Structure 1
Amino acid sequence: MLTGKQKRYLRAQAHHLKPIFQVGKIGVNDNMLIQIGEALEKRELLKVSLLQNCLDEKEDVAAAIAEGTGASIVQIIGSTIILYRESEEHKQIKLP
């Protein structure tokens, strides 16, 4: 679980990132969870964007992705979800 100070630090780190995954009409599926998990292992911090045709609530989508990948939700802002998971092999971010 992330503390408030750690979330604030990660939000600052994620500010310049572009979303690399998009969730659309079909929602979250197993293949997407595998790809997001692999990306989190490489990057540790990433953004996921929700398209307008996504039928699920953004909180439900964020919870499903976090549960499926073992990530922590840093922030949900607008239609963007910021996720963090500490990498085992490619550790780049040092949390305060």
Structure 2
Amino acid sequence: MLTSKQKSFLRSEAHHLDPIFQIGKSGLTDAILAQIDEALEARELLKVSVLQNCEEDKKEIAEKIGAHKQIEVVQVIGNVIVVYRESTEKKRIQLP
């Protein structure tokens, strides 16, 4: 569980990032979750964009992502979800 100070730090780190994944009409699939899992191992922090044609609610998608393998949802702002998980092999981000 992240503290508010850690979430604030991660939000500032994610500000300059572009969304890597887009969730569209088919919603959040197992394949997308697996790709997010792999990308988090390499990057630790990333953005996921929810397109307007997505039938699922962005908050529901964020909850599903957060329930998968200890992924922390840092922020849901607009149609963008910021997620974080500490890498087991290549730790890049030092949390305060």
TM-score by length of 2: 0.97
The total of aligned residue pairs comes to: 96
Name the amino acid aligned to 1:31.
Answer: A
Percent of aligned pairs with the same residue? 57
Q: State the distance in 2 between where 1:46 and 1:65 align.
A: 12
Matched, 1:22 2:42: no
| CA distance 1:28–1:69, shift in 2 (3 Å) | farther
Give, in whole Å, the separation in 2 of the partners of 1:80 and 1:86: 20
State whether residues 65 and 73 of structure 2, in contact with CA within 8 Å, keep that contact through their aligned partners in structure 1: no
Give the Cα separation in 2 of the matches to 1:37 and 1:28: 13
Partner-residue secondary structure (3-state), 2:41:
helix
Structure 1: 4+ residue segments shifted above 2 A: none
Which piece of structure 1 moves more, 24-33 or 67-76?
67-76
Alignment of 1:60-79 (within 5 A): 60-79=60-79
> 2:49 maps to what in 1?
49
- Give the alignment's Cα RMSD to 1 decimal: 0.7
2:62–2:73: 8 Å Cα contact kept in structure 1?
A: yes
1:35 aligns to what?
35
Q: TM-score, normalised by structure 1?
A: 0.97
**Shift in Å at residue 70 of structure 1?**
2.4
Name the counterpart of 1:10.
Answer: 10
> What are structure 2's unaligned runs of at least 5 residues?
none
Q: How many Å separate the matches in 2 of 1:59 and 1:46?
A: 17
